[in-house]
Structure 1
């Protein structure tokens, strides 16, 4: 039965969700407190291979970096210190993609589009992967188009930036589908149509009333039609399809659905219910604007 929440779900629902800025500062403080000479040494060692890697790009290969630790700093040094300043004048473009196996890039369509770009004569791709089963992302045709030349680089660096754009802050829901990162919900809500937003909030409200369990589709459709949130069943289907595509709603084969986040996120981020104030001051509390990273970190370097 899906009606009851586990003890872990109940505990997670009571925990306050931190803003991306708070998490970023905490991770940066942690990194600063852990002085490690291994990372600079590894970076200095691999920097000596930049020229070799550039020649491999010119030869028509695309480079894929794997190994222990974050490769973000290494690829940034390669693109900024070498590709931008040492490459000969040309019309080629080097696309540097950090964590090409990241949540937001794992779709088959996205990977196919990237592989088509990688197969272009004047486009070079440099990517990094961290997941053990990242190779399973690509079909045989995609792998051929990518033409990867793999390099194992052990940086032993913490995954600070990767953690900031991960989806681990939100619950994955009963279906196991990966939802949109909590840090990106605000921006998606701003892009939704009034109808889609109203349906999402109605679903979140009903889910909270049901104790976090899955919501039955047909009764919820009738509820939305009675509340005049949608004009027809087809309009409801379109709204659910849009919300599912954005990762704000997950469904199962039993015609049930839910918002894949904890109670706190639904209340304060989606429904906009502010927590009670501790004091009754005359001034109004300003709203914080979240400065969030994107769900994928991608940068392009063009040499002229």
Structure 2
């Protein structure tokens, strides 16, 4: 062994610790993250949208190749299985094309899991109402008389709706409601997997869903995967950009401007019914013309909407307002006289732009 080797090792160690000590004694930087000059989010998104897509023809060809599986997918749904799509890229267009092409015999309800908050109770009630309409139509066709009885879920209870979807007219198995769930692993649904599994297990329900997070399967236990969801897994990478899904997530090094807020709200409103959009427009116009008030009292809102034949009852208006609140389109605060008022958490400029967008 070389006699100088221990001395060399000691010298190396000493130099290492001297360097650490020297670096630690230097003055720390006074710069902060808040000092960074952030770009407007809309400007950043516009720049990203101008990026030329590579291999566009190959991506279209790959997506079209999945169409040969539509018949198989529809058959598996009829047999009681659920379809779970995974793979890199947005699968929104693929699943919607499958639903519009191969599921024309079924009623289809879409859940956008990429939204920040979703009310599953409203989804269940909507599914039960759709199934009730199917059953009434079938009875009218077979007997020639329209069924005039009231649906058994009139209490608007989620449990009643689930019971109706699972047990009602079990012999009429051809009455099916198909639920399409974009991003079932999305932030608005991660805490609701038990409810989604219960929905998927109903006898009159079939589910088609997509996942994008690598750890999404950890959301489910063995019973949910094999018994309730009863998934058939399909690897369908599309390599398509997440244009719509990404709108609802803030970009790094960007701040949300007026234009972006209006754009996000517009996309949410476009997924609602025309009547719901009209109710929202009434609230927006009132807020612009009464900027000095805390908001619009619900009694005033109901009176105007009733006069314009936008709602038929207070219950209908409340359902619209609940949906707005779930999507964070409106908020409530206490008026000086003690009653609750509804307002839209947008600046006047964003609100004017939003009214123009929804026309």
TM-score (norm. length: structure 2): 0.44
The correspondence of residues 1-304 of structure 1 with structure 2, limited to 5 A, is: 7-11=32-36, 14-18=38-42, 23=45, 29-30=50-51, 36-84=56-104, 90-107=174-191, 110-143=192-225, 144-168=227-251, 183=264, 188=325, 191-195=330-334, 272=347, 287-289=352-354
Q: How large is the Cα RMSD of the aligned pairs?
A: 4.4
* Separation in structure 1 between the aligned mates of residue 41 and residue 351 of structure 2, nearest angstrom: 19
The DSSP-based 3-state class of the residue aligned with 1:194 is strand
Given that residues 106 and 137 in structure 1 are in contact (C-alpha distance below 8 angstroms), is that contact kept between their aligned partners in structure 2? yes
129 and 9 in structure 1: CA distance in 2 versus 1, 3 angstrom threshold: farther
- For residues 254-300 of structure 1, the C-alpha deviation after alignment (integer angstroms, 9 at most, x for no partner) is xxxxxxxxxxxxxxx968498xxxxxxxxxx98311799xxxxxxxx
* Separation in structure 2 between the aligned mates of residue 10 and residue 105 of structure 1, nearest angstrom: 35
Deviation (angstroms), 1:134:
0.5
84 and 150 in structure 1: CA distance in 2 versus 1, 3 angstrom threshold: same
Deviation (angstroms), 1:68:
1.5
* Separation in structure 2 between the aligned mates of residue 157 and residue 26 of structure 1, nearest angstrom: 17
* Separation in structure 2 between the aligned mates of residue 139 and residue 6 of structure 1, nearest angstrom: 47
286 and 111 in structure 1: CA distance in 2 versus 1, 3 angstrom threshold: closer
Deviation (angstroms), 1:146:
1.1
* Separation in structure 2 between the aligned mates of residue 162 and residue 139 of structure 1, nearest angstrom: 26
- For residues 31-53 of structure 1, the C-alpha deviation after alignment (integer angstroms, 9 at most, x for no partner) is 6x656111221122110011011
191 and 147 in structure 1: CA distance in 2 versus 1, 3 angstrom threshold: same
Given that residues 72 and 98 in structure 1 are in contact (C-alpha distance below 8 angstroms), is that contact kept between their aligned partners in structure 2? yes
List runs of 5+ in structure 1 lacking aligned partners: 172-181, 199-228, 232-268, 275-284, 293-304
291 and 158 in structure 1: CA distance in 2 versus 1, 3 angstrom threshold: farther
* Separation in structure 1 between the aligned mates of residue 352 and residue 185 of structure 2, nearest angstrom: 34
- For residues 79-127 of structure 1, the C-alpha deviation after alignment (integer angstroms, 9 at most, x for no partner) is 111211699x9310111111111121212xx222111110011100000
Given that residues 92 and 123 in structure 1 are in contact (C-alpha distance below 8 angstroms), is that contact kept between their aligned partners in structure 2? yes
List runs of 5+ in structure 2 lacking aligned partners: 1-29, 108-137, 139-173, 255-262, 269-283, 285-323, 339-343
* Separation in structure 1 between the aligned mates of residue 216 and residue 34 of structure 2, nearest angstrom: 29
Count of matched residue pairs: 194
**Which has the greater radius of gyration?**
2
